Amino acid sequence: MSPVYTVVASFGATGQFYAQIKNGAPFEVFLAADDTTPARLDAEGATVPGSRFTYATGALALWSAKDGYVDDKGDVLKKNDFRHIAIANPKAAPYGLAGIQTLDRLGLMDRVKPKIVEGQNISQTQQFVATGNAELGFVALSQIYRNGKITGGSAWVVPASLHEPINRTRSS
């Protein structure tokens, strides 16, 4: 008979989990939304040597829960006809950093900055948009994409050239 394992998952910002691990939190597997945080834990001796690897590359999307609100080129950003845009904390969440990099590379940060509402992590950011508290936001494509299509609302898949790679990495 095969052994039975129980997995207890915790969801949050990569940077928050880094701090918890450094302070002794008993995590056995760390699935990070970037590759630099697990590398830092490796360098600091806080992981099992040789256990780190990239398991996926994340994709960023600009999403609205409203159908037709976000066009397939992200021009809704240039129109600047929205009250709030949700972005995860760029200091703790790699998708938030990618959203900031995208706005910078598009030359829109100065115009959009006063409208930014910051989620603690990518899940809270998606929730801000899903509930209508922000008309649009930068989220992980995996949060809104099922069976080959956007699961509700409208979205622009942000070209990877507009931000640094989001390499999701695992370490033990």
Residue 50 belongs to a domain: no
For the stretch 91-111, pLDDT in tens is 988 899 999 999 999 999 999
Residue 6 belongs to a domain: no
Residue 16 belongs to a domain: no
Residue 128 belongs to a domain: yes
CATH number at residue 125: 3.40.190.10
Query: From CA 118, how far away is CA 122, in angstroms rounded?
Result: 10
For the stretch 104-145, pLDDT in tens is 999 999 999 999 999 999 999 999 999 999 999 999 999 999
pTM for this model (two decimals): 0.79
Domain limits for position 156: 59-163
Residue 87 belongs to a domain: yes
Total of domains in the chain: 1
Query: From CA 120, how far away is CA 11, in angstroms rounded?
Result: 11
For the stretch 77-95, pLDDT in tens is 999 999 999 999 999 888 9
Lookup result for tokens 């989220």? 139
* Residue 120: how many other CB atoms lie within 10 Å: 16
Question: Which is more confident, 28 or 113?
Answer: 113
Residue 46 belongs to a domain: no
